[in-house]
Amino acid sequence: MSGSSDREEGWERELVEELAREALKERRRTRRWNVFFRSLLFLYVAVLTLLWWRGGDWQGDLTGEHTAVVQIRGLIADGAAANARDVIKGLKAAFEDDGTRGVILRINSPGGSAVQSALVHDEIQRLRKAHPDVPVVAVVTDAAASGAYYIAVAADEIYANRASIVGSIGVRLDSFGLVGTLHKLGMERRLFTAGEHKGFLDPFLPLKPDEVAHVKALLESVHQQFIAAVKAGRGDRLADDPNLFSGLFWTGEEAKRLGLIDGFADEATVAREVIGVEKTRDFTHKRDWWERLSDRIGAALAVRVEERLRSLTLQ
């Protein structure tokens, strides 16, 4: 009996010792992984700091003369990539840089908000007056329509490709009407307002002639602002064509005939032959390293929290 008891105790002791050794190994492995991940995080932050110190992006040699480039790409709207605040930040940085000898507006946009477009247009004019020795040239790639063309006319000159889409000098307001649909479904719209026109252009109610007239007057007012900006920017270069301000758009070839653009050239050609400095530097505003890092950390934390909540739910 005594020998059997000693064997059982010896087996249990060996098991405890083995578990302790495995636990110690696991702690060492965890410590090594912690050191690894901390070193990786330090390296990541160091690289981002270096990028920020060099201007936020790897752009090579940032010294000397250059042609500054500011992109206006996609929908022009508050909250979109081409919003007035970010575009203006890029423009200010471009004009205020000591090495800038000219600014190219690289435009590829169907237009968007009249307000956002006007804000950028007005800021370009202000910066041109403050920096009279820095020429501004708009270069259209695929399109500069509507609000994008509103911005382009603030430049000294506009260049495009023969196949680019240019123009659309007009204003629109989209709506719809479901009055007949409600009637067919046996539904009745009940709207209570304080103010005679608070239900203005409600899609579930019939149009009122006085409200339609008011909307048309608003659109016409904004349209006239657009036309005035185009005439001020293009001046005598505009052709005498009745369709010029009708909202139509044209290819670059037709736009040249109408005086909407000055010629055909790409960004490199404009930098080299129009501005006279071939080297370009992109000043388009991008979120800084801290914003990008915060987004990534936030996303990682969200994943961890979600995993933790999921594990709590399963327990």
- DSSP letter string over 23-83? HHHHHHHHHHHHHHHHHHHHHHHHHHHHHHHTTSS--S---S-EEEEEEEES-BSTTSSB-
Residues 290, 294, 295, 296, Cα dihedral to 10°:
100
| pLDDT recorded at residue 314 | 36
* Burial tier of 117 (Cβ tally within 10 Å: 0-12, 13-18, 19+): buried
The DSSP code for 14 is H
Cα angle 99, 101, 104 (rounded to 5 degrees) comes to 115
What is the chain's pLDDT, residue by residue, as a tens digit (315 residues)? Answer: 555 555 556 666 776 677 777 777 777 777 776 777 677 777 776 666 565 554 444 444 556 899 999 999 999 999 888 999 999 999 999 999 999 999 999 999 999 999 999 999 999 999 999 999 999 999 999 999 999 999 999 999 999 999 999 999 998 888 777 777 777 777 777 777 888 777 777 777 777 888 888 888 988 999 999 999 999 999 999 999 999 999 999 999 999 999 999 999 999 999 999 999 999 999 999 866 555 555 455 555 555 545 544 443 333
Parallel/antiparallel/unpaired status of strands 165-167 and 249-251: antiparallel
| pLDDT recorded at residue 157 | 97
The answer to whether 107 and 144 have CB atoms below 8 angstroms apart is yes
Write out the two tokens for 191.
């709207």
CA distance 56 to 291: 11
The answer to whether 203 and 228 have CB atoms below 8 angstroms apart is no
| pLDDT recorded at residue 98 | 92
CA distance 279 to 132: 21
Q: At what angle do helices 209-234 and 114-130 cross, to 10 degrees?
A: 20
The DSSP code for 112 is B
